[in-house]
Structure 1
């Protein structure tokens, strides 16, 4: 009986060693960016619908500081949000995640949505002067939206 248990345990470990990494990698690839559309925030205003709500985001350069270029992010949504957080993540290279708190700037001029704003300076990479960043939106610290659009922009080192 002990020999049978030992053989089954060894077979299980070998099976996990062979098929485990493949299974884990296929899960990650399957979940990543299914159906998302890239939108460069510095080139245009990005529009999308999510859970029946209308969203739009725009990013503008608002000046150059000692730490780099300052950006102004504006998000308009029909969804009633008690709070909103933008999370800055490296897209072309992982440089960490940077939460950017957004403040409610009021109602949109058409009266059909809230406007949220944030100002931030994107960290720069010391090995590559151009860095592509992605902005993900969250409802506070807990709830991330499953966004159908990938909001990206290219930050240039101290330009």
Structure 2
């Protein structure tokens, strides 16, 4: 009987220790990406700092955003991305950076060469007039992996 009690105490101690270690790793270990955004080394505000430029093994990329006009639905923006490649089904996905408001894919169209453009209206946030949006570049459903910047902009207040 003594051996059974001792075994239960040791087992309980080990389970507790493992639980504490897992909790410590969850709190202090490497941060995972709970919001689904990729980790980038620097932020680039497309409206204030743009054009945002970076280099990859394929060559030089550039992204620029400008306000086009105010409409009853909000402010219209024009996004231009210049790529060294020709992605198929090239998308810019708007995601709330300061507050989650869903995901809004915007198809980037191509005329000649490798500048891709799109015009869109960012959804209006009724809680925060200075909503910050992030733009993630994708080829179809796959994110463009080698973007070392987080592309953001602050939507015009509404």
Measure the CA separation in 2 of the matches of 1:19 and 1:68: 44
| TM-score, normalised relative to structure 1 | 0.78
Measure the CA separation in 2 of the matches of 1:20 and 1:72: 41
In structure 1, stretches of 5+ residues that fail to align are 108-113
Are the structure 2 counterparts of residues 143 and 40 from structure 1 closer, same or farther at C-alpha, using a change threshold of 3 Å? closer
Q: Is 1:39 paired with 2:44? A: yes
Are the structure 2 counterparts of residues 21 and 65 from structure 1 closer, same or farther at C-alpha, using a change threshold of 3 Å? same
| TM-score, normalised relative to structure 2 | 0.78
Equivalent residues of 2:136, 2:143 under 8 A apart? no
Tell me by how many angstroms 1:85 deviates: 0.9
SS in 1 for 2:119: strand
SS in 1 for 2:155: strand
Q: Which residue of 47, 54, 59 corresponds with 1:53?
A: 59
* The structure with more radius of gyration: 2
TM-align CA RMSD: 2.3
Map Cα deviations across residues 107-158 of structure 1 (whole Å, 9 max, x no partner).
Answer: 1xxxxxx121111111122122111212111111123323122222111134
In structure 2, stretches of 5+ residues that fail to align are none
Equivalent residues of 1:55, 1:77 under 8 A apart? yes
Measure the CA separation in 2 of the matches of 1:9 and 1:64: 60
Specify the alignment match of 1:122 in structure 2. Answer: 122
Specify the alignment match of 1:155 in structure 2. Answer: 155
Measure the CA separation in 1 of the matches of 2:151 and 2:23: 37
How many residues align? The count is 147
